[in-house]
A = this chain, B = another copy of it.
């Protein structure tokens, strides 16, 4: 291990919070976690790649770190699980470990913080607020010289009681379709970012005013859905409502009908943003028609936006009701390839 890597790891180790569940953390071959008796393990991994998921010129490093962890926590929320620990594999170009003027600053506070220091600050702030310890990971230098790009893989391990996880496959014909919070705000903010990137340089701390930079994983909502047995299926809206609803339809073997008038649009969003924008990290879930659904869960508004129906050979998998018309809703969000 080089001096630089050792200093980085010591810095992370000293800043990462411990928890009762974390029996062995950073500094061994692997971490050891103790779950509550009888609970099962929930695991998710998500890549955050420079120039795919974020741009160094556009996104403050704090926001990159926040969203990196938020993506993993959102998957845990969609299962209705409790997060236990996070692991980060991070590859960064060497220059991102140095202060902007070339002076290495980790772990002490000399000069300006480096990109990686600010990335960890954003990630650990969210970890702290969600009480999820950073329990390990990997750290490497990205290859490629001046062309090198940062790549972060976040792993979140959670736990849940047996047979209680909210799956994509649990929806039944006749179930109503719900969504949390509001839709399209992240897409609208991304549009503004592409037009006026300089206006967003100082978006470095969490604020609900910045849904693209600082999405909030709906952990408390997911756990409330499980605890109160309110939902039959759930998925998080990371790729866009149309894409993620299609996943729900496919895994449940159903079709869906969405009422555009019921979509909870973010104040800045269009219907297109809400349907196809992606990055909202709200929960999309289903419940039997007879369920008394509260108007808020864990303080977050819940809106009914449609229903699930039996598949039909002459009907499209997803239908949008809009201005009194019925039309096929095509999935048109984020494409990984």
Interface residues of A (CB under 8 A from B): 1-2, 4-5, 8, 23-24, 27-35, 37-38, 40-47, 49-52, 75-76, 78-79, 81, 84-85, 87-89, 91, 94, 97, 135-144, 147, 149, 151, 153, 155-158, 160, 162, 165, 167-169, 234-236, 239, 243, 247, 251, 331, 335-337
Given known pairs A4-B337, A33-B43, A141-B337, the reply for A24 and B155 (CB within 8 Å) is no
Write the nearest CB–CB distance from A303 to chain B, whole angstroms: 21
Contacts of A84 in B (CB 8 A): 41
Number of copies of chain A assembled together: 2
A23 to chain B, nearest CB (A): 6
On whether the beta carbons of B46 and A41 are closer than 8 Å, the reply is no
Q: Measured between alpha carbons, how far is A160 from B32 in the docked complex, in Å?
A: 9
Whether B75 and A45, one on each chain, are in contact in the complex, defined by CB atoms closer than 8 angstroms, is no
State A200–B265 Cα separation when bound (angstroms): 58
Complex A-B, nearest 5 residue pairs according to Cβ-Cβ distance, in ascending order: A51-B143, A30-B44, A153-B153, A29-B78, A4-B337
Known: A29-B79, A32-B160, A162-B34. A47 touches B144 (CB 8 A): no
6 further A-B contacts with Cβ under 8 Å, apart from A32-B79, A35-B40, A46-B89, are: A23-B40, A23-B165, A29-B236, A33-B40, A47-B91, A52-B142
Q: Which residues of B have CB within 8 Å of A247?
A: 1
Which of A49, A52, A235 counts the most chain B CB atoms within 10 A?
A49
In the complex the two chains form, is A335's CB within 8 Å of B144's CB? no
A44 partner, pick from B45, B49, B91, B136, beta carbons under 8 A: B136
B35, B141, B236: the one within 8 Å of A41 (CB):
B35
In the bound complex, what is the Cα–Cα distance between A169 and B32 (angstroms)? 14
Q: Do A41 and B38 touch across chains, with their CB atoms under 8 A apart?
A: no
Q: How far is the CA of A28 from the CA of B44 in the complex (A)?
A: 9
Residues of B within 8 A of A44 (CB): 29-31, 136
CB atoms of A158 and B79 under 8 A apart: no
Residues of B contacting A236 in the complex (Cβ-Cβ under 8 angstroms): 29
Contacts of A155 in B (CB 8 A): 43, 45, 87, 155
Choose one: B8, B49, B91; the contact of A49 (CB below 8 Å).
B91
